[in-house]
Amino acid sequence: MLDGRRVLLIISGGIAAYKSLELIRRLKDRGAAVRCILTKGGAQFVTPLSVAALSGDKVYQDTFSLTDEAEMGHIRLSREADLVVVAPATANLLAKMAAGIADDLASTALLATDKPVLVAPAMNTMMWDHVATQANVATLAGRGIHRVGPAAGDLACGEVGSGRMAEPAAILERIAELLGGGGPLAGVKAVVTSGPTFEAIDPVRYIANRSSGKQGHAIAAALAALGADVTLVSGPVALDDPAGLRTIHVESAVQMLNAVRGELPADVVVCAAAVADWTVANRAPHKRKKQAGAPPPVIELAPNPDILATVSKAAGLRPRLVVGFAAETERLLDNARDKLARKGCDWIIANDVSEDSGTFGGDANRIHLIDAEGIEDWPLLDKTEVAARLAARIATALGAE
Ligand code: CTP
């Protein structure tokens, strides 16, 4: 049952829009409150009147409609929902979401929302397979946007392939999962560190590690997708904050440690950040100036706290599961095993970051999961896929206790 849960359903232009009428009916049957935005394209396929009749509410159609804006701005519209569902999601709307374009009510509401978003793509198979669409879908997945479908089969355009919108029953199932507070990690508190840390040399310069944050952010999103209550503690990265979880932004290792400590107790902590091992002991309060003839300044380093080891050894506050990463350029498995013992965590995810591995900044990762029992070698996978598998493994491990 979805009693009292509020769904904002965005219907964009596709032949599959008729299935959204069925989705509204099923949602209402289960007690959900459904409010609908119908795009211009969507209104070519279903009428505002039928959407209004089924949802039992008025239909929102235009950002600049004075009455709509007066009664309910696009911001309230997107915030007063527990979940935003885009069904059908056209290639065009997915592209706008990925690019952050807000040129109509639907795309504006999607940009303004702070709620989880589920998309049900529907389009011609060539459009779905196009690299542009696939890149947009990957971008959205990295931001924690949930997706159901598309399915393969006969398409309305006469072609056969992937692109059919998921059936209303399948969409409803995902909605129930996302809204019901369900999911195998419901009630589990998770903390994930991600990205590099910056250690200031002076107000202008810093020392940092190489890290895009892609893997850590994807893990946070994957844990949230399974229903965990997730806090992501992120160093400076060029990524968006994933939807459906809380992100704390930090710069230095000490700030990262403090943020993680502030989130304990937690059930699981995943340390995916590339924390600088050293901080600058003689940090200058003002910009260091070059002086003609003077030798270059000497930067004195001091060790940073080890966040993974601190959490693993936190007396009374140790999470049930602590997962670390081992980024190695040589002797991968030996070094990783050594790290597992030295840092006291439960699992180490070992990955090869040597120059030709393509791991840094790339979208794929080949990892080995090491625990007290042994080693599991995973195939080369997209980082979002690694994250999904890891989240499922975490769910099994926590459930098995
Ligand atoms: N880590 C941490 N705090 C640190 C250093 C590392 O939490 N100050 C965590 C990382 O997030 C990662 C794991 O420890 O999960 C291993 O990081 P890595 O850089 O591979 O190991 P190091 O501790 O730096 O060991 P070494 O210098 O021997 O490679």
1 assigned to some structural domain: no
Query: Is the C-beta atom of 269 inside 6 A of ligand 1?
Result: no
Taking CA atoms only, the protein residue closest to ligand 1 atom 8 is 306
Structural domain containing residue 329: 189-399
Instruction: Measure the CA angle with vertex 140, ends 179 and 228; round to 5°.
Output: 35
The residue written with tokens 């090869």 in the block is 352
101 and 197 co-located in one domain: no
Backbone phi, psi, residue 211, to 5°: -170, 130
pLDDT for the residue numbered 383: 87
pLDDT for the residue numbered 64: 63
pLDDT for the residue numbered 225: 80
Last residue of one domain, picked from the residues 127, 146, 179: 179
344 and 363 co-located in one domain: yes
143 CB contacts (<8 Å, ≥6 apart)? 221, 239, 240, 241, 242, 243
pLDDT for the residue numbered 359: 65
Q: Which of 243, 192, 306, 214 is nearest to 82 (CA)?
A: 243
Query: Is the C-beta atom of 345 inside 6 A of ligand 1?
Result: no
Query: Is the C-beta atom of 273 inside 6 A of ligand 1?
Result: yes
Q: What is the dihedral of CA 370, 375, 380, 382, to 10 degrees?
A: -40
Query: To test ligand 1's pocket by mutation, which of 198, 271, 352, 369 has the most ligand atoms within 8 angstroms of CB?
Result: 271
Q: How far is the CA of 193 from the centre of ligand 1 (A)?
A: 12
pLDDT for the residue numbered 5: 85
Last residue of one domain, picked from the residues 179, 213, 234: 179
pLDDT for the residue numbered 69: 62
| Residue 239 near residue 142, CB atoms below 8 Å | yes
301 assigned to some structural domain: yes
Atom of ligand 1 nearest to the CA of 311: 7
Cα–Cα distance between 122 and 373 in angstroms, integer? 44
271 and 344 co-located in one domain: yes
Q: Which of 61, 50, 59 is nearest to 25 (CA)?
A: 50
| Residue 10 near residue 109, CB atoms below 8 Å | yes
Backbone phi, psi, residue 246, to 5°: -100, 130
114 and 220 co-located in one domain: no
Percent helix, strand and coil across the chain, each to the nearest 5: 35, 25, 40
96 and 160 co-located in one domain: yes
pLDDT for the residue numbered 191: 98
pLDDT for the residue numbered 333: 83
Q: Residue 88 maps to which CATH number?
A: 3.40.50.1950
241 and 313 co-located in one domain: yes
Q: How far is the CA of 208 from the centre of ligand 1 (A)?
A: 13
210 and 286 co-located in one domain: yes
Query: To test ligand 1's pocket by mutation, which of 333, 339, 346 has the most ligand atoms within 8 angstroms of CB?
Result: 339
Which stretches of 42-114 are assigned E, i.e. beta strand? 59-60, 83-89
Which 3 state secondary structure label does DSSP give 207?
Answer: strand
Query: To test ligand 1's pocket by mutation, which of 308, 346, 365, 370 has the most ligand atoms within 8 angstroms of CB?
Result: 308
Q: Which residues of 346-383 are buried (b: 16+ CB within 10 A; e: fewer)?
A: bbbbbbbbeeebebbeebbbbbbbbeeeeeeebeebbb
Q: How far is the CA of 273 from the centre of ligand 1 (A)?
A: 8
Cis peptide before 150 (omega within 30 of 0): yes
Query: Is the C-beta atom of 325 inside 6 A of ligand 1?
Result: yes
Cβ neighbours, 10 Å, residue 290: 7
Taking CA atoms only, the protein residue closest to ligand 1 atom 12 is 325
184 assigned to some structural domain: no
166 and 299 co-located in one domain: no
Structure tokens at 386: 């690694």
Biggest alpha carbon–alpha carbon distance for the chain: 81
132 and 211 co-located in one domain: no
236 and 102 co-located in one domain: no
Backbone phi, psi, residue 356, to 5°: -85, 5
Active site residues: 157
Q: Residue 386 maps to which CATH number?
A: 3.40.50.10300
DSSP, residue by residue, 137-202: HHHHHHTT-EE--PEEEE-TTS-EEEEEPPPHHHHHHHHHHHHTT-STTTT-EEEEEESB-EEESS
Query: Is the C-beta atom of 326 inside 6 A of ligand 1?
Result: yes
Q: How far is the CA of 217 from the centre of ligand 1 (A)?
A: 17
Taking CA atoms only, the protein residue closest to ligand 1 atom 14 is 308
173 and 302 co-located in one domain: no
Q: How far is the CA of 241 from the centre of ligand 1 (A)?
A: 23
pLDDT (tens, 9 = 90+) of the chain, 401 residues, equals 677 789 999 999 999 999 999 999 999 988 899 999 999 999 999 999 999 999 999 899 876 665 666 556 777 888 889 999 999 999 999 999 999 999 999 999 999 998 999 999 999 999 999 999 999 999 999 889 999 999 887 777 777 788 899 999 889 888 988 887 567 888 899 999 999 999 999 999 999 998 999 999 999 988 988 888 899 999 999 998 887 789 999 999 999 999 999 999 999 999 999 999 999 999 999 999 988 898 999 999 999 999 999 999 999 999 999 999 998 878 888 888 899 999 999 999 998 877 666 666 677 888 999 998 889 999 988 888 899 899 999 999 998 55
Last residue of one domain, picked from the residues 154, 179, 204: 179
Q: How far is the CA of 238 from the centre of ligand 1 (A)?
A: 21
Cα–Cα distance between 305 and 328 in angstroms, integer? 20
125 and 204 co-located in one domain: no
Backbone phi, psi, residue 120, to 5°: -120, 90
Cis peptide before 265 (omega within 30 of 0): yes
pLDDT for the residue numbered 245: 86
Number of domains in the chain: 2
